[in-house]
């Protein structure tokens, strides 16, 4: 521990320390930089007019309640709305089994703080979402990284690891359009995972911000149709907006009270006004289906256009075309260039990408990188890809 206050810091502040997320966000916000880095929703994806109308309604009809403290578990209307959504995409859930959290990131933190003791095992895909890796590491977890492919986590490998003695408390999955790999956990693997949870007593954490963003076809039912040992994190950040910090969490009966107690000690409650506004939007049953249909077209078109551009301008990059979500997960297919120097060169040219290594736990991420197609408009995207092409040539020249 270094610095003036080093001796005062709790030991856990050294665990899971990563500047990768702040580096990505800082790069995305730097003046003049075109960002293909963060999972930042497209500016025209936000339902601004509907949010304005809902805010107006809330302030004219329920201002006092909407500006007041509210229960730690969330306001009734929002818990009911989350329960309805959960039931549409998985097992039926009563509103009593819902907590409204300040984003799914807080859901992850509540789970880690409620369930993980130093040395407990958490199994997860390798690579995995950086924010989850950081939370679990900071809670003192030992990570059990598992291989992952187009059909999501290799649950057969988990089964083998369990058979030879691994005992994770939590198994963390991103079931649709995984961040960063884009994988979708297949129905067969969901069934197997639920069976293993029953047999070995662990909990499955399904973190699903991207399930509503399938470009063709629908989403698969949650693992909770096969087992009640499933906790669902239902972010609204990629489908409505991240700024309100309102998300849903569903958990089995026996865990809700403990999670609410942790939530209370963390921030008392989630933003009341945001909950009222979103509950007002959800009260119109036609709103969400129409809004999500628009987003699927918006992002599907962006993904196809970006794939075309990447193939045309960056032949040294290989990738599977995304089936949903916000990202391309790519391999740099050139013996001379790896993703970290490319990232540095790209930033110098004015385009931000994310090198693969920070997502990887044991895997070699040195040739991998993540590109978001979500944020930029068509002209910016063309320019961003052109800058990336220049950055690649310069990174290659650096090696000679």
Ligand X SMILES: Cc1ncc(COP(=O)(O)O)c(C=O)c1O
Give me the DSSP letters along 60-71: HHHHHHHTS---
- From the list 44-52, 141-149, 235-243, 334-342, the region that binds ligand X by CB under 6 A is 235-243
Q: In whole angstroms, what is the distance from residue 279 CA to residue 47 CA?
A: 14
Among 223, 237, 272, 338, binds ligand X (CB under 6 A): 237
Residue 242 within binding range of ligand X, rule CB under 6 A: yes
Q: How far is CA 168 from CA 120, 121, 201, 226, 233, in A?
A: 7, 4, 9, 19, 19
> How many Cβ atoms sit within 10 Å of the Cβ of residue 350?
17
Q: Is 187 exposed, middle or buried, given 0-12, 13-18 or 19+ CB atoms closer than 10 A?
A: middle
Interaction between residue 324 and ligand X (CB under 6 A): no
Write out the DSSP string of 222-236: PGGGT-S-EEEEE--
Site for ligand X in 127-186 (CB under 6 A): 129, 131, 174, 179
Q: Give CA 311 to chain center in angstroms.
A: 26
In the complex, minimum distance from the CB of residue 207 to ligand X, in angstroms, rounded to a whole number: 5
Q: Which residues of 248-273 are buried (b: 16+ CB within 10 A; e: fewer)?
A: bbbbeeebbeebbebbeeeeebbbbb
How far apart are CB 217 and ligand X at their closest, in Å?
A: 20
**184 and 134 Cβ atoms separated by less than 8 Å:** no
Supply the minimum distance, in Å, between the C-beta of residue 74 and ligand X: 14
Residue 365 DSSP code: -
d(CA 242, CA 232): 18
Q: By beta-carbon distance, which residue lies closest to ligand X? A: 103
| Smallest distance, ligand X to C-beta of residue 4, A | 32
Comparing CB distances to ligand X, the nearer of 181 and 338 is 181
CB contact at 8 A, 281 and 50: yes
In the complex, the smallest distance separating the C-beta of residue 39 from ligand X, rounded to whole angstroms, is 4
Reported as half-sphere exposure (CB side, CA atoms, 13 A), residue 130 has a value of: 19
Minimum Å distance from CB 240 to ligand X?
10
Of the pair 168, 242, the CB lying nearest ligand X is at 242
CB of 129 to ligand X, least distance (A): 4
235 binds ligand X (CB under 6 A): yes
Residue in this structure with the two tokens 């489908």, named with its chain if needed: 239
Q: Which of 45, 104, 338, 375 binds ligand X (CB under 6 A)?
A: 104
User: Which region, judged by CB under 6 A, interacts with ligand X, from 79-87, 102-110, 337-345, 380-388?
Assistant: 102-110
Among 39, 74, 90, 211, which residue interacts with ligand X (rule: CB under 6 A)? 39
| Minimum distance from residue 124 beta carbon to ligand X (Å) | 11
Interface stretch with ligand X, choices 73-81, 100-108, 117-125, 219-227 (CB under 6 A): 100-108
Nearer residue to ligand X within complex by CB, 110 or 389: 110
Q: Which of 41, 47, 74, 103 binds ligand X (CB under 6 A)?
A: 103
Query: What are the Cα distances from residue 11, in Å, to 17, 38, 111, 138?
Result: 11, 29, 20, 10
**Count, residues in the chain:** 400
Segment near ligand X (CB under 6 A), from 63-71, 76-84, 97-105, 291-299?
Answer: 97-105
Alpha carbon distance 229, 113 (integer Å): 18
* Residue nearer to ligand X on the CB measure, 263 or 387: 263
Give, in degrees to the nearest 5, the angle at Cα 215 between 182 and 222. 65
User: What is the per-residue binding string for ligand X in 204-223, x denoting contact by CB under 6 A?
Assistant: ---x-x--------------
Q: How far is the CB of 106 from ligand X (least distance, A)?
A: 7
- Binding segment for ligand X among 101-109, 143-151, 193-201, 312-320 (CB under 6 A)? 101-109
CB of 236 to ligand X, least distance (A): 7
Q: How many residues sit in the footprint of ligand X (CB under 6 A)?
A: 14
Per CB under 6 A, residues contacting ligand X are 39, 103-105, 129, 131, 174, 179, 207, 209, 235, 237, 242, 247
């Amino acid at each position: 521990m270094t610095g003036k206050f080093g001796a005062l810091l709790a030991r856990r502040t050294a665990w899971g320390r990563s500047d990768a997320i702040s580096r990505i966000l800082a790069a995305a916000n730097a003046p003049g930089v075109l960002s293909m880095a963060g999972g930042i929703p497209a500016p025209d994806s936000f339902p601004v007019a509907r949010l304005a109308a809902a805010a107006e309604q809330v302030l004219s009809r329920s201002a006092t309640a909407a500006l007041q403290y509210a229960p730690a578990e969330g306001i009734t209307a929002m818990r009911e709305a989350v329960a309805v959504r959960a039931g549409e995409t998985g097992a039926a859930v009563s509103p009593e089994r819902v907590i409204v959290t300040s984003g799914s990131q807080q859901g992850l933190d509540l789970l880690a703080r409620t369930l993980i003791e130093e040395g407990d095992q958490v199994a997860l895909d390798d690579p995995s979402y950086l924010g989850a890796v950081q939370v679990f590491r900071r809670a003192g977890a030992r990570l059990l990284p598992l291989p992952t492919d187009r059909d999501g986590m290799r649950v057969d490998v988990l089964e083998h690891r369990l058979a030879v003695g691994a005992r994770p408390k939590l198994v963390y999955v991103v079931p649709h359009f995984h961040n960063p790999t884009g994988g979708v956990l297949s129905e067969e693997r969901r069934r197997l995972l639920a069976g293993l949870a029953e047999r070995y007593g662990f909990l499955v954490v399904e973190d699903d911000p991207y399930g509503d963003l399938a470009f063709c076809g629908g989403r698969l039912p949650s693992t909770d149709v096969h087992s009640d040992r499933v906790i669902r994190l239902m972010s609204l950040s990629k489908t409505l907006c991240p700024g309100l910090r309102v998300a849903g969490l569903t958990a089995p009966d026996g865990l809700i009270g403990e999670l609410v107690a942790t939530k209370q000690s963390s921030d008392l409650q989630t933003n009341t006004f945001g909950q009222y506004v979103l509950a007002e939007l959800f009260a119109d049953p036609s709103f969400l289906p129409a809004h999500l249909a628009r987003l699927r077209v918006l992002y599907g078109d962006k993904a196809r256009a970006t794939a075309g551009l990447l193939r045309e301008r960056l032949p040294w990059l290989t990738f599977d075309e995304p089936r949903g979500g916000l990202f391309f997960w790519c391999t740099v297919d050139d013996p001379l260039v790896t993703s970290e120097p490319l990232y540095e060169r790209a930033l110098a040219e004015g385009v931000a990408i994310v090198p693969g290594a920070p997502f990887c736990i044991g895997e070699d991420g040195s040739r991998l990188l993540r590109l978001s197609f979500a944020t930029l408009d068509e002209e910016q995207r063309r320019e961003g890809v052109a800058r990336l092409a220049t950055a690649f040539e310069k990174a290659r020249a650096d090696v000679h």
